[in-house]
Structure 1
């Protein structure tokens, strides 16, 4: 339902609540070892549940994007939280069922589906209410997801210690459906062509790309036919490969390079997660002033420089600074690419179009950690080649950011 006089900041509040709640699912590292200890299953077998979860999210985002115009954000978010809750309830019975497939179905398939359905709704909804602050508002919305993960980690650790991992899944299911349900009540659809009172889209400066607010709207099919889609997909994948490789291996890398203890390395991971969250808002806001692709280029320059220097790090403080910078820029990509997608392909079909761009996240989630593990095995225990590969991808990304320009308006369909 469209409401012209609705307070758009209430939509943001609802978006933050929804993202905060589903962000709790990314405390997986708290659950992995206790699940192994309770079941005797290998780390590889248990970790596959999280890989399935990550890989499935973009495809459910695309599915939800097609339903969003028909169902609206409130109903669809509640559907997504219900799927997520069912997945967590099945996960809570994994030990009783005695099968890994319960964990794969519950945490992997259904929880991944629930997150995928919910995740894109606040982004697409908020962007249409804030044509004047696209970068800031998407950065703020996705920051909620990162903060939710950071905030829930100590809670999950306490509950897992007291109740075990499977019973914690049960309470997480209740938290998910209640929390998202509350946030969803605040979200509304912006009126078509909405502009905030007193705001006029600024005129483009000579030589500058077209103003985002006046970009034409591409359907998913039209977007897929442009070279810009494939450039952005690859560009985004590079950020995810580098960022998710570090996030997945931050603790063992710290123990190897900086000779940190497991406790110190865990502390570094906590700091990394905070910078991941802050980077989403910071770089999203910067992109409103500096321009999307210019901001992307700066983030990739920083990431490339840090990656190329990682092999020379030998103490704790430089290591924490390095991985925090990588996480800060990775978070920035998560906060910048939704508004970049709207700038290039319009806001009308963003819920589907960004889902297609977000496939890059699945690629990064699979390629980054596997690349690091493979390099580690083939080089006798050194991550250096993985750093060089990631740094090279980021360096290529800088060039791609400078040469990728907005597409021409799609051709109008022929009429008989």
Structure 2
């Protein structure tokens, strides 16, 4: 379908809500843990087995974003949001069938594979459109949308828990909860599909506030992946995400272990509250830090993420087990950097490669997320398991993994310092029709 072009006088401030309708929906992925205990009980699964749908979904997010990025650029945001809606909702419906028939492979297939494709296409669907509408504030614009992915779990987690309480936590109750999810998200995401528009250059609201998104350097996605700048940013994103997931994936048991040997151990409910605080910091960092990057620059804000992140890890490793406020504060800061890194990277890509195919470039870069999604939990869990086998306990389980995280952040910091403007041999003029939309017919 042709990308719908905005009519004269159409407000660009309608685009962020359209993007949010998609990102708040697919952000449910961060609430998958709500379904883990009932699935383990109802279908007799191990903890590793119950994590398979989420792990596959994250892998498919990176792969579908990488391979589908060019199609998103070519066909426009409405097409991409429609594909995301169909895949993400269908994934829940297949999962509902799997739960009802007690065929767990259908849940893995539905939520992990089909739904994961919806995650990837939906995640990148609004990025290039927002940057074209907000050339003057790309960090803020993408931060608003990507904030929704971090905040989706704050809605989905209590909603899912309430449904399981109402419907029951047996296989039929889980199936009904999946069904309600699939239908509800289809309706909510359709609002974004109907609302989204692409700008035309002669009518772009806010043009006086800043330059056209298509002025300056423009690099195609094919050329971008051949530049050292792309791979430096790949390392930057991978290291930043690995450091954040290192805490996020094991947050509840981590804070419990750190203070298990003190006079004030952390209860299960307090640990759950800590996880909720981390989710809030993740969400706030996405809009806060990305907006700050419009003022201080993308390279500078990543210096904060990576440099200050290493300091936060060092403080936790050195003094975290002696002060709960210090542990919590440092963890919240790290998670705000984690969220901010996701939201700032599209604007960083736009600065280096232009807006021409920034969605496709962003999709390819998200393979760093898939890598970090495996690397971070592997480092923390594998080391903690081996330290426990060696007879260690408490904060000693995590000291070595935190030192590794500091090293990775230093590597990311160095990669960020190596980022330079793209060599002119990679520059291409953006096609005229991509810049102004005058050859496209309004929907």
TM-score by length of 2: 0.87
SS of structure 2 residue aligned to 1:2: coil
Distance 1:122 1:148, change over 3 A: same
Report the counterpart of residue 417 of structure 2 in structure 1.
402
Which of 279, 291, 294 does residue 297 from structure 2 map onto?
291
**Shift in Å at residue 239 of structure 1?**
0.6
State how far apart, in whole Å, the 2-side matches of 1:232 and 1:272 are.
Answer: 25
Once the two structures are superposed, what CA deviation does each residue of 1:313-333 show, in whole Å capped at 9, x if it has no partner? Answer: 124322221211111110110
Report the counterpart of residue 26 of structure 2 in structure 1.
22
State how far apart, in whole Å, the 1-side matches of 2:32 and 2:329 are.
Answer: 24
Residue 384 (structure 2) pairs with residue 369 (structure 1): no
Matches within 5 A, 1:272-287: 272-287=278-293
Residue 268 (structure 2) pairs with residue 265 (structure 1): no
Stretch of structure 1 that moved more, 180-189 or 2-11: 2-11
Which of 378, 384, 400 does residue 386 from structure 2 map onto?
378
State how far apart, in whole Å, the 2-side matches of 1:90 and 1:161 are.
Answer: 22
CA contact under 8 A between 2:244 and 2:334: conserved in structure 1?
yes
**Shift in Å at residue 411 of structure 1?**
4.3
Once the two structures are superposed, what CA deviation does each residue of 1:98-135 show, in whole Å capped at 9, x if it has no partner? Answer: 33311210111011111111111112211110000011
State how far apart, in whole Å, the 2-side matches of 1:269 and 1:412 are.
Answer: 44
Residue 321 (structure 2) pairs with residue 320 (structure 1): no
Corresponding residue pairs, total: 404
Once the two structures are superposed, what CA deviation does each residue of 1:119-162 show, in whole Å capped at 9, x if it has no partner? Answer: 11112211110000011111111112212211221111111222
State how far apart, in whole Å, the 2-side matches of 1:69 and 1:223 are.
Answer: 15
Report the counterpart of residue 39 of structure 1 in structure 2.
43
Residue 191 (structure 2) pairs with residue 188 (structure 1): no
Report the counterpart of residue 235 of structure 1 in structure 2.
236
Please tell me the root mean square deviation across aligned C-alpha atoms, in Å: 1.9
Report the counterpart of residue 435 of structure 2 in structure 1.
none
State how far apart, in whole Å, the 1-side matches of 2:246 and 2:96 are.
Answer: 29
Distance 1:355 1:70, change over 3 A: closer
Report the counterpart of residue 333 of structure 1 in structure 2.
341
Residue 186 (structure 2) pairs with residue 177 (structure 1): yes
Unaligned runs of 5+ in 1: 203-211
**Shift in Å at residue 370 of structure 1?**
1.1
Report the counterpart of residue 101 of structure 1 in structure 2.
105
Once the two structures are superposed, what CA deviation does each residue of 1:315-357 show, in whole Å capped at 9, x if it has no partner? Answer: 4322221211111110110111111011111111111100111
State how far apart, in whole Å, the 2-side matches of 1:411 and 1:309 are.
Answer: 43
Stretch of structure 1 that moved more, 221-230 or 55-64: 55-64
CA contact under 8 A between 1:297 and 1:397: conserved in structure 2?
no
SS of structure 2 residue aligned to 1:132: coil
Once the two structures are superposed, what CA deviation does each residue of 1:366-398 show, in whole Å capped at 9, x if it has no partner? Answer: 100011111112222511111111111112222
Matches within 5 A, 1:53-72: 53-72=57-76
Residue 158 (structure 2) pairs with residue 148 (structure 1): no
State how far apart, in whole Å, the 2-side matches of 1:241 and 1:411 are.
Answer: 30
**Shift in Å at residue 85 of structure 1?**
1.1
Unaligned runs of 5+ in 2: 261-265, 429-443
TM-score by length of 1: 0.92
Report the counterpart of residue 222 of structure 2 in structure 1.
221
Residue 172 (structure 2) pairs with residue 168 (structure 1): no
CA contact under 8 A between 2:66 and 2:365: conserved in structure 1?
no
SS of structure 1 residue aligned to 2:126: helix
Report the counterpart of residue 440 of structure 2 in structure 1.
none
Stretch of structure 1 that moved more, 307-316 or 86-95: 307-316
Distance 1:96 1:286, change over 3 A: same
CA contact under 8 A between 1:48 and 1:104: conserved in structure 2?
yes
**Shift in Å at residue 198 of structure 1?**
1.9
Report the counterpart of residue 351 of structure 1 in structure 2.
359
